[in-house]
Structure 1
Amino acid sequence: MAYENSNAALPAPAAHPMAKPGYGKRSAPDQQRAKPGDFQHLPPREAYLASFIDQLPENAAMDAKTLAKAQPLYGQQAVRSALNELGRAGHLRRVRRRIPPAEGETGTRWVFHTFWSRPARDDEWWAGTLEGDVTPPEVETKAVVADVPPPSEAYDTLARLGLRDPRLALSAADCAALEELACEWLARGTSPDQLSQVLVAGLPDQVHSPRAFLRRRLVDRMPPERAVPTPAREPRPLMECTDCGVPGRVEALPGGLCRACRGRGRDLDHAPTWAQILQVQARVEQMRAAVRAPQRA
């Protein structure tokens, strides 16, 4: 989505608080159109925070505590050091200006601004620009930054996108809003590094709203759900003949015996008992005695 006014401030990261009247961000004049590589000359930390600050609207709170709370990577001390480096690089100047008391007021009133320039400027340029600056009327806006819970792997992956490409610098609220979608990617088998590569690949020259851009990409490129593997069927068990130990399928060994052993068992079932053998022997002796009896007569 393109903006009609190319000089207008980019959308602010969600939930970033505005400063009290007389404080906050002021965009320096002669801002150039945002383009890739605006902050590539800076170290990664400063480039990340520069891209984040560049998206903030006029009068956004620019103190280190608020900036630390509004983005997910750096604490107050790191932000304070980064702001100092951005000042030395020519992107930022803090200004305190005395304002005459209004009617009915007494004493001196001071306003405090942090002037921001997308292109780096030298000291001479800043001196001439700030001398001719006129402070505009202030509008007080209240906002609340929600506390961020301990980051998940998905949240941390989103938070670090701004280090890979400053155009994707996200606020803490942005990361929280996109965390569920990123978690779904990881649940479907995507590694954090693979997710980062997908999200930073082929970026347009300008990313006006990193949060909206990444939400669209997370939805449109969502990988398919993991296929649930079908559990492998266990091989059918092989039995062994209880008598001889020969293996065989269950249905081939009724009663636990193979065919041969079952056959031997039937033969044994029909064998004469010892009493039957004795009866036969006695009968044979009687027949022999009967045959011999007439010969003796």
Structure 2
Amino acid sequence: MQIHRSRRASGFAALPNALLQDRRLSYTARGILVDLLSRPDGWSEDGRRLADTSPQGRGAVARALRELTRFGYYRVDRVRRDDGTIVSVAHVYDSPQSPQAAPGNTRPVSGGPGVDPPVGKRPKNREKVPTLPEPVPEPCDGVVATLLRVVRREPRLRLGVAEARALAPLVEPWLERGYGERELVPALLDGLPERVHSAAGLLRDRLVRKLPPARPARPAVPRLRECDACGGPTRQAGVCRGCAGIGEGDRAEEYAHRAEVAIRGLARVRAVLRGGPAVSGGWQTAPA
């Protein structure tokens, strides 16, 4: 690998290699740290603005800030001003700091050294990792909502609405082929690595690589209608074939057979009711 560097007389920042090559940090965390260290002292920046001005969503930025806080590169303290207002002051370091190291220009929020907190109130946890405020829900279409419902079951695959919108074109082929959340859940969530560095990148790969083939079209089932004359089933609107005179001979023979069976049964019933012998067939009946 060859490294090409240009001479800079202005507009550059000098950073230690130990910071740039700290493999404990993700590339997103290192990029945010370099961006913050390149700003002048007193620069106003927060996690929400970082997320809104970069391709990463708020979830990725929040995870990166937690990494920087964990390894001593980033710290947020709440201080009380002389007028009584409380503000958050962020501190960025180009070398790791111990958790006990506190900035020299901070003031406690309430009380002082040796002052007990009021009864019924718990002291604030100074070492609590700063978190971003919950994003305001944005309106999203059905495809984006489907993807968000699927990945919400797995904390390692947290996505923002902007990231879900970017992945929506890859979800549409699944829905067009008749596959929904039932098929997306095992395809996207099964077999995840222990640590997911890029949720959007992993989902993009699986949506493309695991796209199932289109389902075969089901044969059309003919719809049966009711005959206008006899009320029997027919495939076409109007009257059936028998009522229309098509196949009339077969239909007449069937009706004759049914009539003969009915007459025989009626003769047997009459014979039994009159106390005579049962008639086996024909028109014979018992004498009155």
Structure with the greater alpha carbon radius of gyration: 1
TM superposition score normalised by structure 2: 0.40
Instruction: Select the structure with the greater relative contact order (CA < 8 A; seq sep ≥ 6).
Output: 1
TM superposition score normalised by structure 1: 0.39
More helix by percentage: 1
